[in-house]
Amino acid sequence: MNRNSAKICLAPNLVIVMFGVNRNLSTTFHNLDQQVLKLLRSRGVQYALTWAFSETSALSNPRSKEIGTEPEYRSARLLSALQGSYINQAYIDHLTSDLFIEACRHGDPWEDDFHSIRNHIRYLHTLKIASIQAFVMAPSCKWFLFLRPDLIFSDALDVESLISSQSSSDKDLAITPAWHRWGGTNDRICLATRQAAEVYGLRYDRASEYLSIEAKPLHAEVFLQWCLDQRDDVVQLPIINSRAHRIRCNESHQLIPELDTTLSAILSAQKALLGTINRWASAKAKSVYNKAIIRLPRPQ
């Protein structure tokens, strides 16, 4: 992307919030720019971006076959964010240990020896940090777009049109995908007004309450649906039809417009395009982080 087009907006109409693990922004950023950010710029939407990612030397996710694979670090600079935070994963695990133990008592919905439960809690914690950053740096902003950094969009996500279509509404809105709801609400993408964004972004703080009241496993989509259901003032609109799928640390992606871009076709193509990506977790890479990156303290 042309660096001149990545101007930082200090009074945004929209804040994009990214969170989780930076598996491969060097692979996904071009798609993000073409399918989301470029359209925002062309429509004159003033947006800013903030992120919080967990920092670890190796992932442990048997369900996605990521065992010992390294996430990226330096590629987060592509985002030209107002603020970014790398949070040491061991520190996250320290802070969330009680919740993890409590969640394990209620079952393992992914049946992978609680690895996905652990990763889900880490995901929720980075979401909380990224959301707090967004709310503090843009206190008067109405709209927030929550995205994972490992998404590949098969078609454009027209955020401006979604916002315009709700311009006459005085309700607090949580706009989510119409697909892959898995018994709850798809948690990969959410366009939300301020109050709904707080429900979405700070739901880590309600996880223990959910487990206590519902006595059910901490399933990602079901838990999100429960959080939204607790607020009568938030209107849920599962109307996003733009499709996106996740890619992993050991995958590369090539988006070819002439091909069938249905989700099933892209998933099949994805498997055929397995590859390797550059490893950015070396000490040398870490020494040249963007100055915008901040670090939370490691546990003593």
* Arithmetic mean of pLDDT, 80-87: 93
* Half-sphere exposure of residue 8: CA atoms within 13 angstroms, side-chain side: 13
Cα 279 to Cα 277: distance, rounded to the nearest angstrom: 6
**CB–CB of 54/20 below 8 Å?**
yes
The whole-model pTM stands at 0.80
* pLDDT tier for residue 229 given thresholds of 50, 70 and 90: very high
Long-range contacts of 253-259 (CB under 8 A, 24+ apart): 253/27, 253/28, 253/31, 253/152, 255/31, 255/152, 255/154
pLDDT tops 70 at residue 216: yes
Query: Tell me, what amino acid is at 139?
Result: P
Quote the tokens at residue 298: 């490691």
* pLDDT tier for residue 96 given thresholds of 50, 70 and 90: very high
Query: Tell me, what amino acid is at 104?
Result: C
Look up tokens 């490893």; give the residue.
279
pLDDT tops 80 at residue 102: yes
Please provide the average confidence, as pLDDT, over all residues in the chain: 82
pLDDT tops 80 at residue 67: no
Cα 296 to Cα 54: distance, rounded to the nearest angstrom: 11
